[in-house]
Amino acid sequence: MHIGFKLLTGVAATLVVARAGAMLQGQSLMASLSGAAADAMAAEQVADGSVSFRAASGMIGRIARVSGTADPATRARVVAHLRQHPGIADAMWVERTAP
């Protein structure tokens, strides 16, 4: 068997396994981060709060985009709390868009 074919087959198999692992682990990570965001909003009595880790491009990342009805001081406390979480890279409060 040609060495190039073996190498290509190995790279393809590695990519498939890595992608599957990332998808499975990514879902549990996002669930954990969403739970942390929900806890932070509940601690500040933000009853209608929601969080998304999805960018405008549709890609999932570790940046929390939080929305809900809260005064600026409460928003700042929630965002500051989320920025302290080790799994969240950044947090920002975004205005809700009409459906």
Between the alpha carbon of residue 96 and those of residues 30, 31, 77, the distances in Å are 20, 21, 19
Question: Is the pLDDT reported for residue 24 higher than 80?
Answer: no
Return the pLDDT at 20. 72
**Rounded CA separation 22/30 (Å):** 12
Domain residues of the chain, as ranges? 3-93
pLDDT in tens, 26-84: 677 778 888 888 888 889 999 888 898 888 887 778 899 999 889 999 999 999 999 99
Return the pLDDT at 53. 86
